Amino acid sequence: MLLELDFRKRNLTLVGTCLVGFIAIICAWNTPLALALVVASLVYLITGNRPTTVYCVSVTLRRDITAAVRFIRLNYKLIKWERARKIVPQLFREVVERDPNKAAFIMDDKKLTFQDVENFSNKIASYFKSKGFKRGDTVALLMETRPEYPAIWLGLSKIGVVTALVNSNLRKDPLTHSIKVADSKAVLVGAELGEALKEIRGQNRIKDLPVFQFYDENQNDGSKFPLLEGATDLTLDLSKHETRDVTEDILAGKPKEKMVYIYTSGTTGLPKAAVITHLRYMFMCMGASEMLAMREDDVIYNPLPIYHTAGGMLGVGNVLLRGTTMALRKKFSASNFWADCIKYNCSVAQYIGELCRYLLAVPHKPVDTQHKVRLMFGNGLRPQIWHQFVSRFNIEEIGELYGATEGNSNLANFDNQIGAIGFVPLAAGKLYPVTLIKCDEETGEPIRGEDGKCIACKPGEPGVFIGKINPRISSSAFSGYADKKASEKKVIQNVFKDGDMYFNSGDILVRDILGYFYFKDRTGDTFRWRGENVSTSEVEAVITNILSLKDSVVYGVEIPYVEGKAGMAAVVDADKTLDIDSFSIGVRGSLPPYSRPLFVRVLPELPMTGTFKLKKRDLQSEGFNIYKIKDPIYFLDKGMYRPFTPKDYDDVMNGRAGL
C-alpha cells in the first residue's frame, strides 16, 4: 500500500509520529551520534523546515543505515576483485580451498562436494580446449537440472568459452533461434533432450554444429536415450580424458569478459540472449547475498530452473562465490516443497513468479511448519497473499528482489515491507541513480517536457523504472544482448542531460515517500478502455482472490469500431468448479466498470514459461474469436457474465453490440 499523507492537515499527527520515531531511535541506538541526529532533526522540525523530510528520515533511518553498510561491503568486495582481475573460476577455487569436502550440490541421492565440482569443471575445461575451442567461442548448453550443470559452464569459462544457457523447455523454432542468436560453435546436450535437438538438426547453421551428448550414470546403456547420429558421447570421452592444468587460461581471463548468455523468459517474442560477464555475475549474486544477509553455513533449496537468472545466478552464485550448500530439484513440486526442505535441512529457499501461490493452494500439512527455513528470496510474491504466506508457513524473512537479467536497475526489499519490490534510501539517489520517469503506460514511450528531457515522477506517480548506465561501475553497467539491435532498444538517451544514457526496464512502478517501490505493470500490459488506463496486474490480483488463488491472466483485445482495448481474462478451471454467477458478483463488487473484463475465457491450464511467468502474447493473439477457440468464452452483459455466442461475436465484429 502506498503511503499517502496530507501534511498540511495532519501537522500535529506528524509531529507526534516523529517524536515517537525519535524516541524509538534513541532506544535502539543509545549513542552520542544517534542522540545528535535526533536533536538536530527535532530542531529542524520545530523550526518548520520541511517536516516531510524529517519524518521520512526518522522512519527509515535504521533501514537506510543497514542498507548502506551492506551496499558498501558489497562494493568493497567487487572493487577488490576487479582490481585483482579475479574472475568467477578463481573465486571458486578460493572457496574450494577453504572446505573441499563440504557438499556443494545435492540432488536426490547424488552429492557433489566442492572438490568434485572443481575436478569435473577442470576436466571439462581441459577436454574442450583439446578439441580446439578457444576464448570467445560459444557453446550452447541444452540440459535439464543436474548437479553437473553449473560445473559444465564453470569449466568452459575457465578457458574463456562462453556458455549459452538454453531453456530446456524450448522446442523447434525458439530452440533453433536460441542456438543461432548466440553464434554457437557447438551444442552440449543432455541425453534426455536428444530428441528435441534431433528435431532441428536439419536447420541452417545448426546441422553442421558438433554435438556433445552427456549421459548420467543411469543413462549409460543408451537404450532409453540413444546417441544422436554423428554426436560425441561426452561422458565416455571424459572418462578417458587425462585432465591438463588450465591455470594459465584462467589467469588470462578478465572480469568484464563474457561468461554466459542467459535468455529472457520469452513471455513476448523469441528469447533474447543477455550478456553476463564475470563482473555482472559477481554483482548479481553477491548483491542478493549481501543485501539479504545470507550466511556461508546456509543450505539453500532451489527448485527453480538453473538456466535462468533466479536459479542459475542468484541461487547457484551463492555456492560458487560464498561456499553455501544447495539442494536442487529437477522440477518444482508444490506438494514436495516443504518435505524437501526438511530432508535437506534447508535454512533458505527460493521462489519466483506464482510459486508461492501454488504452495498456498496445497492442503495444510504438518510439514508446513516443521521445516527450518528462515528466509525465502525471489521475486513475484503478490502483496495480496504475502501475509497469508508468511503466517501459514512461519517464514521469518522474505527477500523480495527486483531486476532484469540484462538490466542495471536492481532493487531489494529485505525488511519485510509487504508488497514492496525494494527501496532506495532517501539520500542515495546520486550513489545509486535509479528513478521513475513519466511515460505513456500503454506504449511505454517516455513523455518529455518542453526542453526535450524526460520528466521525473513524484511519489505516488506511476512511471517506467530506469537506471543510469555507467560502464565503469559494476552496479550501473549494461552489457546488453548478443543481438546489438535488441540492446539499443533498451537504452534511452538524453534523459535528464545531453548525452546521458539510461536502461529502460519496461516496468511501470510507483514509489512512496519512504523510498519503497511497488510494481504496477509492464509497459504494454496496461491498456486504455473507456478513457481510463487499466492495469492488467491489478485486475489479475483481484480475479485471483475471487477464484481462491486459481491462475488467471488479463490482457487487452482490440474491437472494431471501438476506441481503446477491451479487457479479457483467461482463467483456469481444471476441475470444472467455476461458478460464473458468483464470479460475476465478485468482479462487479471489486472492480470499477472500466476495469471489468468484457470477456472471460476458461481453460484447463495457462501457457507458462519455465520460470512460472504467464504467457500473454499467445492468448492475446487468439483474442475472442469464437470460431477458432474451443474453450468456453463468457461475455459481460448488464453486470453478469453469460456464454458468448456466434451471434454475439458477429455483433461485436460488426459494431452492433452497443459497447
Each residue's pLDDT tens digit, 596-614? 999 999 999 877 766 666 6
Kindly report the CATH number assigned to the domain that includes residue 591. Answer: 3.30.300.30
Phi, psi of 553 (to 5 degrees): -145, 140
**Positive or negative CA dihedral for 639, 644, 650, 652?**
positive
In a domain, 573, yes or no: yes
Cα 618 to Cα 270: distance, rounded to the nearest angstrom: 12
Mean pLDDT for 360-371 is 94
**pLDDT exceeds 80 at position 357:** yes
Query: Tens digits of per-residue pLDDT, 568-594?
Result: 999 988 888 899 999 999 998 888 888
pTM, to two decimals: 0.81
299 and 202 within one domain: yes
CB atoms within 10 A of CB 459: 18
Mean pLDDT for 249-274 is 85
In a domain, 658, yes or no: no
Query: Tens digits of per-residue pLDDT, 495-532?
Result: 999 999 999 988 889 999 999 999 887 776 778 787 67
Domain boundary among the residues 354, 378, 406 is at 406
**pLDDT exceeds 70 at position 205:** yes
Distance of CA 44 to the CA centre of its chain: 41
28 and 125 within one domain: no
Domain boundary among the residues 406, 430, 459 is at 406
Q: How far is CA 452 from CA 50, 434, 469, in A?
A: 31, 20, 20
The H-assigned helical ranges of 142-186 are 148-158, 172-181
All three cell numbers of 222 = 543408451
**pLDDT exceeds 90 at position 561:** no
Phi, psi of 454 (to 5 degrees): -70, 160
Domain boundary among the residues 63, 83, 103 is at 83
154 and 25 within one domain: no
393 and 247 within one domain: yes
119 and 58 within one domain: no
241 and 151 within one domain: yes
- What number of residues does the chain have? 659
**pLDDT exceeds 90 at position 87:** yes
In a domain, 625, yes or no: yes
159 and 71 within one domain: no
**pLDDT exceeds 90 at position 361:** no
**Positive or negative CA dihedral for 615, 289, 386, 409?**
negative
User: Do the bridges between strand 434-437 and strand 463-468 make them parallel or antiparallel, or are there none, so unpaired?
Assistant: antiparallel
- What strands, in cross-sheet order, belong to the sheet with 375-379? 110-113, 103-107, 325-328, 299-302, 348-352, 375-379, 397-402, 411-413
In a domain, 222, yes or no: yes
565 and 643 within one domain: yes
**Least confident interval from 34-48, 131-145, 237-251, 286-300:** 34-48
In a domain, 250, yes or no: yes
Mean pLDDT for 125-135 is 98
Nearest CA to 300 out of 283, 287, 284, 313 is that of 313
In a domain, 621, yes or no: yes
Number of domains, the chain:
3
Strand partners, 106: 111, 327
Phi, psi of 190 (to 5 degrees): -70, 145
All three cell numbers of 304 = 527453480
547 and 643 within one domain: yes
Give the pLDDT band of residue 445 (cuts 50, 70, 90). confident
Cα 118 to Cα 128: distance, rounded to the nearest angstrom: 16
The H-assigned helical ranges of 84-165 are 88-98, 114-130, 148-158
More confident residue, 391 or 431: 391
307 and 192 within one domain: yes
Mean pLDDT for 469-473 is 82
92 and 77 within one domain: no
In a domain, 103, yes or no: yes
More confident residue, 262 or 5: 262
Identify whether the C-beta of residue 123 lies closer than 8 Å to the C-beta of residue 243. Answer: yes
Cα 594 to Cα 586: distance, rounded to the nearest angstrom: 15
Instruction: Supply the range of the domain harboring residue 576.
Output: 527-653
All three cell numbers of 191 = 541425453
**Least confident interval from 3-7, 152-156, 621-625:** 3-7
Mean pLDDT for 147-166 is 98
Residues contacting residue 127 through CB under 8 Å, at least 6 positions apart: 237, 238, 241, 243
Residue 323 per-residue DSSP state: -
Mean pLDDT for 60-68 is 90
**pLDDT exceeds 50 at position 138:** yes
Helix (H) or strand (E) holding 378: strand 375-379
50 and 153 within one domain: no
**pLDDT exceeds 70 at position 2:** no
Kindly report the CATH number assigned to the domain that includes residue 368. Answer: 3.40.50.12780
- SS3 for 561-578 is CCCCEEEEEEEECCCCCC
Give the pLDDT band of residue 162 (cuts 50, 70, 90). very high
In a domain, 509, yes or no: no
Query: Tens digits of per-residue pLDDT, 405-426?
Result: 877 889 999 999 999 999 998 8
For the chain, the helix, strand and coil percentages under 3-state DSSP, each to the nearest 5: 35, 20, 40
Give the pLDDT band of residue 265 (cuts 50, 70, 90). low
